[in-house]
């Protein structure tokens, strides 16, 4: 088990095993209830076009977001585990409760994959799908902006859009956590690369000073270790570069999500205020 490197105040919501799943299910149930109203007969052709476009955009977002759920859950799980590891390694060596606290913190995570480090391929897949979800969310945002506030379905559209903003925020924050975990894996990989380089130097020194009977085998061992060390270091460099890019993208996605949430909340409050007048 490697030591987590660095710390931050992440976009993280703990208790992801049950609370996040329940929250997502609740939102999706609400979304489906609201969307049923958009199937009702309509009259105004302009309103019909706007409503149909919004409904189609919402359906498209739902389809896109289905593929990201596994990545979202994995990101929250891995971040929770990383936090628990960090707490464990920061605890005093004579703290008898540290190991038990770690075991308790990760007890809910039974999938071995949750404990694996991020790889370039997995981060690439998560990045690709969050881009797809973001495009779908942008399309929905534009469709909602086309609504006339006087539309009889505007209040329902606002509620649906707000619920969708919540799910996008969840996905964006999860991607932020994924980027952080990937960067942490890369930094740990850099530490391992230094250790590998030192080991290679030792092997090369031994090979240079080996007796003739063992010289060939020693040199072969040193060469193989160097080839592996160089390849592993190259992989870590790629992961680090991609994690850095992912962190920058995540900031944009989270900012977009938060801004959309705030605007949707303000719209709903305005609608409530108009009803009370």
94 in a domain, yes or no?
yes
Report the alpha-carbon distance of residue 189 to residue 168 in Å, rounded.
31
pLDDT of amino acid 19: 47
Query: What mean pLDDT do residues 82-101 have?
Result: 88
Range of lowest pLDDT (21-25, 170-174, 209-213, 273-277): 21-25
Query: How does residue 272 score in pLDDT terms, banded at 50, 70 and 90?
Result: confident
SS3 content of the chain, % helix, strand, coil (to 5): 80, 0, 20
163 part of a folded domain: yes
Q: What's the confidence (pLDDT) of residue 95?
A: 84
CA distance 206 to 200: 10
For residue 3, being part of any structural domain is answered with no
Confidence of residue 226 (pLDDT cuts 50, 70, 90): very high
Calculate what percentage of the chain has a pLDDT beyond 90.
Answer: 69
Separation CA 169–CA 148 (nearest Å): 25
The pLDDT of residue 42: 55
Nearest to 4 by CA among 134, 149, 93, 115: 115
Rounded Cα distance between 75 and 243, Å, is 13
Rounded distance between C-alpha atoms, residue 174 and residue 255, angstroms:
13
Identify whether the C-beta of residue 153 lies closer than 8 Å to the C-beta of residue 51.
Answer: yes
Residue 234 lies in a domain: yes
pLDDT category, 23, cuts 50, 70, 90?
low
Q: Give the residue numbers spanning the domain of 154.
A: 16-276
Domains: count for the chain: 1
Residue 9 within any structural domain of the chain:
no
Q: How confident is the model at residue 44 (pLDDT cuts 50, 70, 90)?
A: confident
Scanning the structure block, which residue is given the tokens 């891995």?
78
Decide if 261 is inside a domain. Answer: yes
Say how far apart CA 36 and CA 73 lie, in whole Å. Answer: 28
23 part of a folded domain: yes
What is the end-to-end Cα distance of the chain in Å, rounded? 61
Quick one: how far is CA 230 from the chain centroid? 29
């Amino acid at each position: 088990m490697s030591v987590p490197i660095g710390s931050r105040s992440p976009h993280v919501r703990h208790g992801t095993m049950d609370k996040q799943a329940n929250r997502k299910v609740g939102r999706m149930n609400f979304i489906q209830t609201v969307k049923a109203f958009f199937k009702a007969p309509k009259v105004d052709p302009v309103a019909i076009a706007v409503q149909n476009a919004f409904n189609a955009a919402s359906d498209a977002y739902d389809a896109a977001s289905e593929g990201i759920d596994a990545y979202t859950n994995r990101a929250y799980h891995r971040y929770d585990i990383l936090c628990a590891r960090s707490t464990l390694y920061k605890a005093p060596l004579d703290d008898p409760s540290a190991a038990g606290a770690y075991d308790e913190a990760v007890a809910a995570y039974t999938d071995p994959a949750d404990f694996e480090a991020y790889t370039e391929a997995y981060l690439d897949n998560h990045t690709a799908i969050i881009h797809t979800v973001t495009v779908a969310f942008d399309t929905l945002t534009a469709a909602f902006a086309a609504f006339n506030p006087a539309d009889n379905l505007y209040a329902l559209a606002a509620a649906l859009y707000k619920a969708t903003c919540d799910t996008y925020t969840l996905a964006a924050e999860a991607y932020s956590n994924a980027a952080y975990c990937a960067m942490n894996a890369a930094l740990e990989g850099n530490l391992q690369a230094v250790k590998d380089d030192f080991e290679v130097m030792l092997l090369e020194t031994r090979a240079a000073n080996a007796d003739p009977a063992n010289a060939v085998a020693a040199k072969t061992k040193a060469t193989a270790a160097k080839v592996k060390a160089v390849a592993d270091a190259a992989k870590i460099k790629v992961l680090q570069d991609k994690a850095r890019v992912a962190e920058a993208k995540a900031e944009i996605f989270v900012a977009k999500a938060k801004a959309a949430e705030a605007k949707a909340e303000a719209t709903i409050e305005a609608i409530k205020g108009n009803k009370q007048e």
